Structure 1
Amino acid sequence: MSLRRIAVLSFCVLLAACSKVNQENYAKLKAGMTKAEVENLLGKPTECSGALGLSSCTWGDQQIFISVQFAGDKVMMFSGQGLK
């Protein structure tokens, strides 16, 4: 195997291991947390949408994700899928 392939493979494994979208961080989420606290835990969201003081943000992709619903600046509900 070439050195370049080994380096790319190692980088991919390291990147996957460093994901903040995991069961450990999901367990730290609590109703009432601020959006800033959630972003500190999970990083910047992949996607957010909302209106009239309600918003929903998602971290991850279609297979592995954490979704958090906010009322104002506070966590109301959250869910996850495919977490390890």
Structure 2
Amino acid sequence: MKSPLPLLAPLALALLVAACSKVTAENYAKIKAGMAYTEVTAILGNPASCSDFAGFKACRWGDDKSNVTVRFVGDQVVLHSADNIK
């Protein structure tokens, strides 16, 4: 009989990562226009993805179900939005 540990390990890791998420309503409320990218990453951690185009940067934290998107111009927050954060 095989041990169930190999099957449970990925599930436990996923739960641990989800529990440690910095994508919360409390942290989202800390994001303000004019903040630097480094200030935002200090609050939310490293983004899941970013795109750059002609001095504009859009970064996203979280996943398809719950996320925060922050748009930067010249390394400063100009817009931010959130979907389904708690």
Aligned length: 82
1:80 aligns with 2:64: no
Find the residue that maps to 2:85 and give its secondary structure: coil
Is the partner of 2:38 in helix, strand or coil? helix
Equivalent-residue separation in structure 1 for 2:74 and 2:52 (angstroms): 10
Per-residue deviation, 1:14: 4.0
- The structure 1 residue matched to 2:41, chosen from 39, 42, 63, is 39
Q: Quote the residue 2:65 is aligned against.
A: 63
**What TM-score, normalized by structure 1, do the two folds share?**
0.83
Cα deviation 1:1-56 (Å, max 9, x = unaligned): xxx5xx85665544322210010100100000000000111111100002111110
Structure 1, unpaired ranges of 5+: none
